[in-house]
Amino acid sequence: MLRRLSATGIGTIAFQRALTAQIVHGQEVTGEMIRQAEWIAGLELSDEDRATTAATVQSALGRFAQLRQVDVGYDVPPALLFRPAATEAARDPAVRRNARPIDWTAPQLPTSATELAFLPVSELAPLLRTRQISSVELTKIYLDRLDRYDKRLHCVVSMTDDLALRQARRADRELAAGHYRGPLHGIPWGAKDLIAYPGYKTTWGATPFENQQLDVKATVAERLDRAGAVLLAKLSLGALAWGDKWFGGMTRNPWNVAQGSSGSSAGSASATAAGLVGFSLGSETLGSIVSPCKRCGCSGLRPTFGRVSRHGCMTLAWSMDKIGPICRSVQDCALVFDAIHGYDGLDGTAVDQPFAWPPHRDVWNMTIGYVEQEAASIQPVLDVLRELGATLVPIELPDDIPVGALTLILDTEAAAVFDELTRNHVTAGLNRWPPVFREGQFVPAVEYLRANRVRTLLIRKMEKLMSQVDAYVGGNDLVHTNMTGHPTAVLPNGFRMHDDKQTPTAITFTGNYFGESDLLAIAHAYQQATDHHLQHPDLDAMAAGDDAEPTDQKKDDP
């Protein structure tokens, strides 16, 4: 019989330790135990919520037990850093907005609007610079495509067409006057709808915030304004950055509209792959750039943690959130990244580090790692890299740390961010978050800090691994690298059949801290040696009635 614990007269830590002791000894957490513990968190839950919270707390206690098996020395601090730099005066360093396409030659102007819409930024930029097409013309093409295809893809939360046309007209006036801001000048783009822009709603994809309007401009949006880019639309994200379902429906994969586009940068990847925007911005906490890029066949960059300011963007987990570009080519990612990275004096984690594009190094003098157990499955990729002259070496990702248990950090931080929702019993339109938020109310501070200390051990092991290579290819490392903050580039790598439809596959490259120049140089060289990114979905062939619910959504995409 499970021993019942009374919270009356028992201190918070003592009660939680007693609760933990029961699960460690194989006993069950019950809704009644949650009811008795509610005073600790200052909550009053329904019986139904107590039952679901008991299940998630049971899972959390299992993670506690795993993390306690790791030998953490007294000299290991948690992976937390206080940076007083946020109080410094903002500056606009010369390390930003110097990038240019490797080839500035303007291509032949396409004869069809569809072909033009699918051109990468690196080819649209010289067409605009030489005034073979105007920003207004290009903007109207994309606005028309957004209007036509969003009915099937459900990737748009709010159109910003009035703003877009004003910005496009300004871009054309400046070009006519000889004032050129760089390769993003006049290029239309879309923002994941957790990026705030004054005068427009920022809904976070969630019903409770459906009419939210924030009087702030996110740093990344401000920097793209300065670069002359044209904001077309706020694009969908799964509710509070989980999955591809939001209050407007489920965002679709343009290669197979019966399938969700994955999350949470669902709209950014869908719209970019479908040629509805020139490029987009997404965000990642645990897969939200990589996952939808894989699904939709986009090129994406999840930068080093701290590379890009998150000011004006929804927080999910303070120690994990990253903002990055989603584009049609790796080179486009470099051009967009150059415009948005760096210190801003508003996000205490944002730092200045050099970035060069065109890159200073070639692949032939780089060392690239690969996970030895994966060699057979990625042999064609390794063959291309060898042909490019790279030195390939086998590596092993750290396997002696329970990285899955470290997701406790994300869950706890997210529970703290959205504590008000839990206390007000708000659950509608939040996807699978409410049980996670409630679980976070019962995580002791000691366990959260223990997880961050184990995270420090993972960071040290990954740094030792990365000291041997300039980057590595592949690897089941989504949790590893989101916990350590290493940058990853993702790009299309062929196709497979899914539901009798051809859908993209992908490959990832992971680089050293602040090593985006080398990382993107490797990914770009590989992309130029293949043609996977040049393939585009046929939106006009999308069959009506393909609105079935997806069955392959996973929890690796907040």
Mean pLDDT confidence for 106-117? 95
Q: What does the block give as tokens for 57?
A: 């707390």
Q: What is the pLDDT of residue 542?
A: 73
How many C-beta neighbours within 10 Å does residue 311 have? 21
Q: What does the block give as tokens for 186?
A: 């006049």
Nearest to 72, CA basis, from 414, 342, 456: 456
Q: Identify the band that residue 78 occupies on the pLDDT scale cut at 50, 70 and 90.
A: confident
Between these two residues, 8 and 46, which has the higher pLDDT value?
Answer: 46
Using CB atoms within 10 Å of the CB of residue 46, give its burial: 0 to 12 exposed, 13 to 18 middle, 19+ buried: exposed
Q: What is the pTM of this model?
A: 0.89
Mean pLDDT confidence for 148-162? 97
Distance (Å) of CA 160 to CA 83, 193, 312, 315, 436: 36, 12, 18, 23, 34
DSSP state of 278: S
Q: Identify the band that residue 74 occupies on the pLDDT scale cut at 50, 70 and 90.
A: low
Distance CA 497, CA 493 (A): 14
Q: What is the pLDDT of residue 267?
A: 98
Q: pLDDT tens digits for 271-329?
A: 999 999 999 999 999 999 999 999 999 999 999 999 999 999 999 999 999 999 999 99
Do the bridges between strand 249-250 and strand 501-511 make them parallel or antiparallel, or are there none, so unpaired?
Answer: unpaired
Query: DSSP labels for 319-352?
Result: TT-EEEEEESSHHHHHHHHHHHBB--SSSTT---
Q: What is the pLDDT of residue 137?
A: 98
CATH fold of 113-396+470-531, please? Answer: Amidase signature (AS) enzymes (3.90.1300)
Three-state DSSP state, 398: coil
> For 418-500, where are the E strands, in sequence order?
471-473, 488-498
Q: pLDDT tens digits for 485-541?
A: 999 999 999 999 887 888 999 999 999 999 999 999 999 999 999 999 999 999 988
User: Any residues with CB less than 8 A from the CB of 71 and at least 6 apart, and which?
Assistant: none
* 288 included as an active-site residue: yes
Q: What b/e sequence results for 236-270 when a residue is b if at least 16 CB atoms lie within 10 Å of its CB, and e otherwise?
A: bbbbbbbbbbbbbebbbbbbbbbbbbbbbbbbbbb
Q: Identify the band that residue 27 occupies on the pLDDT scale cut at 50, 70 and 90.
A: confident
Catalytic residue among 262, 264, 309, 319: 264
Q: pLDDT tens digits for 211-220?
A: 999 999 999 9
Contact 282, 292 (CB under 8 A): yes
- Whether the CA torsion 8, 10, 11, 17 is positive or negative: it is negative
* 192 included as an active-site residue: yes
Q: What is the pLDDT of residue 500?
A: 83
Q: Residue written as tokens 């209050």? A: 247
Mean pLDDT confidence for 120-131? 98
Mean pLDDT confidence for 172-184? 97
Contact 519, 442 (CB under 8 A): no
DSSP state of 357: S
Q: What does the block give as tokens for 302?
A: 């999840």
Q: Identify the band that residue 75 occupies on the pLDDT scale cut at 50, 70 and 90.
A: low
Q: What is the pLDDT of residue 73?
A: 75
- Length of the chain in terms of residues written: 558
Catalytic residue among 288, 291, 329, 517: 288
Looking from the CA of 125 toward its CB, the CA atoms found within 13 Å total 24
User: Any residues with CB less than 8 A from the CB of 558 and at least 6 apart, and which?
Assistant: 241, 242, 263, 264, 285, 286, 287, 288, 316, 410, 414
Q: pLDDT tens digits for 46-62?
A: 999 999 999 999 999 89
Domain extent listing, the chain: 12-75+400-455, 113-396+470-531
Distance CA 302, CA 337 (A): 10
Distance CA 214, CA 225 (A): 18
Residue type (1 letter), 119: L
Give the rounded percent of residues in the chain with a pLDDT score beyond 90.
Answer: 80
Question: Does position 552 have pLDDT exceeding 90, yes or no?
Answer: no
Q: For 454, list phi and psi in degrees, rounded to 5.
A: -65, -35
Contact 489, 481 (CB under 8 A): no
Mean pLDDT confidence for 187-210? 98
